[in-house]
Structure 1
Amino acid sequence: MRIARPTALLLATLLATGCATNKRNDAADTAPPTTTPATAPPMITGPKPMGTTGAFSPTDIAWLQLTVAMAERLLPVLDLVPALTADAAWRHLAGPVGTTLRADLDQARRLLGDSGAPTTNPHEGHDMPGMVTAEELTALRSASGQPFLRLLAEHLRAHLTQSVRVAAAERANGVHPATTALAAAVVRDGTANLARLDRLDPPSTTAAPA
């Protein structure tokens, strides 16, 4: 079953976007929801890590970690496209999306390195909104033709929608210039790719998952 399980740092700014949990820890449950202004980074104890171009807030680091985790889940899906469909339109969509996603992933990893944050993935094993699960990837690998395209559209739409939402939260609440700039690019590119996906697979006609 897919659940949403964030780290504590995600709750302050990404909760409303769907990156939240139904089983938060006690500290998250008791935290006052309105004590931090919407434009301020989340409040935690301890110093802020420093990067080469300024301070990284907890929001910046949380978003970068989530961006890495989400990209790592979608890239194996996009890599299946050349082998599992001959549809030129879908190949022309998946190719540029994959290229952009790899560039964003590389930049997010570099920024995390600059921040001094731990290199371990805090979302390892989490099946959060917009992330393809191991079972779903297995189903994609076993499909072809139209069934594959239906699953591809479903997962690509979920990823793009969620990535735009959380990137918009980072753009509004983050403080590190290069990180918020990356978030703005993710919003721009993700919105454009959603429009391209809609032309190939309009939401109103998308078949329900089997």
Structure 2
Amino acid sequence: MGRRVGRAAFAALPLVFLVACTDEPPAPPPDQNAAVIVPGKPGEPGTVVPSQDAAKHQQTPQPNDADVNYMTMMIPHHQQAIVMTDLVADHDAGPVVRAIAGRIAAAQGAEITVMTQWLTGYGKAPDAHAHHGDHAMPGMATPQQLDALRAARGPEFDRQFLALMITHHEGAVTMARQQLAQGVEPRAQEMAQDVITGQTAEIERMRAAQQPG
């Protein structure tokens, strides 16, 4: 009987030893003073802050007047661009201008939807009284310029369309840069950066289309 007990006790020793060897000490508590990186505005570097302050820095700021003004004014600015692109189909535009107009209409139509939703989400109704000839917005075509574009056909239409749309895009880029400098709301900042990136590229394509041959 004693031998059996001794063998059983000896057989249990490896198991006890294994449990003792795999019993890891508990992980130390997180360092409350550790630093984390909070992302900055589009195009700006992040900020290193203590971990206990990270939540405060990551809270989404409420939009300021610059954010609301940018969204409110950019909607009719984009709408005028669509007024011009809508003329392309019936004014004997060339294939290059047709392709450019198609991209502009698709991009700016989608941005109008997003900007309208942004304003509505913050309880700011889009400005129904803004009009296409408002020179407070850079790059806007005058009513006379739009009338001349409507009267043109073929190569003359292409020439006027490209000239007006380049100026129009340059105005949008100016507005977007002002928004990046003065606004605070992250989504509005992202949309302004998208306008700068997309419309700068489109300006280069339109300038290339102006070149003979």
TM > 0.5 between the two? Answer: yes
Q: Looking at CA atoms only, which structure, 1 or 2, has the larger radius of gyration? A: 2
Higher relative contact order (CA 8 A, sep 6+): 1
Report how many aligned residue pairs link the two structures: 152
TM-score, normalised with respect to structure 2: 0.65
Alignment counterpart, residue 65 of structure 1, candidates 69, 72, 81 = 72
Contact 2:138 2:174 in 1 (8 A): no
In structure 1, what is the Cα distance between the partners aligned to 2:207 and 2:159? 13
Q: Please tell me the root mean square deviation across aligned C-alpha atoms, in Å.
A: 2.0
Partner amino acid, structure 1, of 2:63? F
Give the alignment of 1:84-103 within 5 angstroms.
84-103=91-110
DSSP 3-state at the match of 2:86: helix
Deviation sequence 1:106-156 (CA, Å, 0-9, x none) = 111111112222433463362343112333222211110121112101110
Partner amino acid, structure 2, of 1:177? P
Contact 1:65 1:122 in 2 (8 A): no
Task: Tell me the residue number matched to 1:190.
Answer: 199
Alignment counterpart, residue 134 of structure 2, candidates 126, 138, 157 = 126
In structure 2, what is the Cα distance between the partners aligned to 1:195 and 1:94? 14
- Segments of 5+ residues of structure 1 without an aligned counterpart are 1-52, 206-210
Task: Tell me the residue number matched to 1:199.
Answer: 208
- Segments of 5+ residues of structure 2 without an aligned counterpart are 1-59
Deviation sequence 1:86-110 (CA, Å, 0-9, x none) = 4111111111111101111111111
Structure 1 residue ranges, 4+ long, deviating more than 4 angstroms after superposition: none
TM-score, normalised with respect to structure 1: 0.66
Compared CA separation, residues 162 and 113, structure 1 to 2 (3 A): same
Q: Percent identity?
A: 25
Contact 2:93 2:155 in 1 (8 A): no
